[in-house]
Amino acid sequence: MDYGLTEEQKMVQDLCRQIAQEKIKPVREHYDETGEFPWDIVKIMADADLFGVSIEEQYGGMGLGCMGNVVAVEELCKVDGGIPLAMFATGLGTYPIILFGSEEQKQAYLPRIASGKSLAAFGLTEAEAGSDAGGIKTTAVKDGDHYVLNGTKQWITNGGEAEIYTVIAMTNKAKGARGASAFIVEKGTPGFEFGKKENKMGIRASATRELIFQDCRIPKENLIAKEGMGFIVAMKTLDASRPGVAAQALGIAAGALDEAVQYSRERRQFGKPICSFQGLQFMLADMATQVEAARALVYQAARYIDSGAKDISKISAMCKLYASDVAMRVSTDAVQVLGGYGYMKEYPVEKMMRDAKITQIYEGTNQIQREVIALNLIKEAAAAKRK
């Protein structure tokens, strides 16, 4: 089916499909079993310039925006939902600089990230600040030409592997969410350490660690935007990045569907392929319809964002919510299609089901997405009534 992709987007899609099939597929089981960070695949993706897909050309990227990123992520995640996360989690850590960074910050960091020489990560979540992003406890106290950071961030994707971290910390606790600020912190800065690597159910090739700040001094020039802008930086970053999670979920769902269809043509019961049974045909039809509906919404969201639209929180939440729910349903149904084999690790669908679950949780649980959507609907209705 022609999805109206540009020639550049099709080239990225073909390149990612080749990398996924030739480089990622043969090693996905190994990385899932060991939980090692896939530096060899990271290098392949970096050499293919994939880390710069959505970064502007003037900073060494391809300049293909949200749509380019969505196409790349979907194609890579059809084979594995964890290994490519090194790339698009770097995008999450980069958005604060893209959206709010000074020209000096962009020149200093974006070329490094676009080249794949430096991974990035986003430090927002804490033990008591998950869905309640305004409840962060990490502090940043001004001290002359520096800020001193203290606190701990939890469940940070690319933690310990990334070189560049965008971190949200409180510069004025008395102001609540309005007292939060955003900073750039580089790996190796004295007082910046990492906690244990988490042992996860899925996306096991992706590193997830604590960030620990103990009297960590960073130059005042590492402040993103200005003091008090941290919560806005965080929310706008998540609005921009959620289509990437949606694309991850879409890719997992599409990959699970492909595996289910192929298996149904090969597996025989009662003397014929199981794809000949109407009950299973209906399952496959429903799975395929859900995948196409998710793709339509994700692509529409990406194109809307690339159009320069200002208020993207509703469509961003919608595509993340819907695609991740589809990923969970379709991957679970794929396990069912494969029956006992689907439950075994030598078949990829059980991994796809494990990988799919996180897409309903991180970058805002799907319950939070529904709240974002509803509040935007109410706001839009109130605005329409005033007119």
Would you name the residues annotated as active-site residues?
Answer: 363
pLDDT at 59: 98
- What residue ranges define each of the domains in the chain, with the CATH number in brackets? 7-114 (1.10.540.10), 120-231 (2.40.110.10), 234-386 (1.20.140.10)
Kind and range of the H or E run holding 54: none
pLDDT for position 22: 98
Q: What is the pLDDT of residue 132?
A: 79
- Angle, helices 85-100/230-266, rounded to nearest 10 degrees: 150
Rg (CA), the chain: 21
> What is the model's pLDDT at position 129?
85
- Report the C-alpha gap between 127 and 373 in whole angstroms: 25
pLDDT (0 to 100) of residue 135: 86
Q: How far apart are CA 253 and CA 319, in angstroms?
A: 14
Residue 107's pLDDT is what? 98
- Cα separation, 205 vs 207, in Å, equals 7
pLDDT at 52: 97
> In this predicted structure, what is the pLDDT of residue 254?
98
Q: What is the DSSP letter of 198?
A: P
Closest by CA position to 30, among listed 245, 259, 348: 348
Residues 2 and 9: their CA atoms lie apart, in Å, by: 12
Which pLDDT belongs to residue 131? Answer: 76
Give 61's contacts (C-beta < 8 A, 6+ positions apart): 49, 52, 53, 54, 55, 110, 114
The one-digit pLDDT tens for each residue of the chain (387 residues) are 789 999 999 999 999 999 999 999 999 999 999 999 999 999 999 999 999 999 999 999 999 999 999 999 999 999 999 999 999 999 999 999 999 999 999 999 999 999 999 999 999 999 988 777 778 999 999 999 999 999 999 999 999 999 999 999 999 999 988 999 999 999 999 999 999 999 999 999 999 999 999 999 999 999 999 999 999 999 999 999 999 999 999 999 999 999 999 999 999 999 999 999 999 999 999 999 999 999 999 999 999 999 999 899 999 999 999 999 999 999 999 999 999 999 999 999 999 999 999 999 999 999 999 999 999 999 999 988 887
Residue 152 CB partners (closer than 8 Å, separation 6+): 126, 127, 138, 195, 210, 211, 212, 213
Q: What is the pLDDT of residue 334?
A: 98
Tell me what pLDDT residue 288 has.
98
92 Cβ partners below 8 Å, 6+ apart? 120, 121, 122, 157, 237, 241, 244, 363
Identify the sign of the CA torsion 185, 365, 137, 193: negative
Cα–Cα separations (whole angstroms), residue 51 to 23, 42, 62, 163: 17, 9, 9, 14
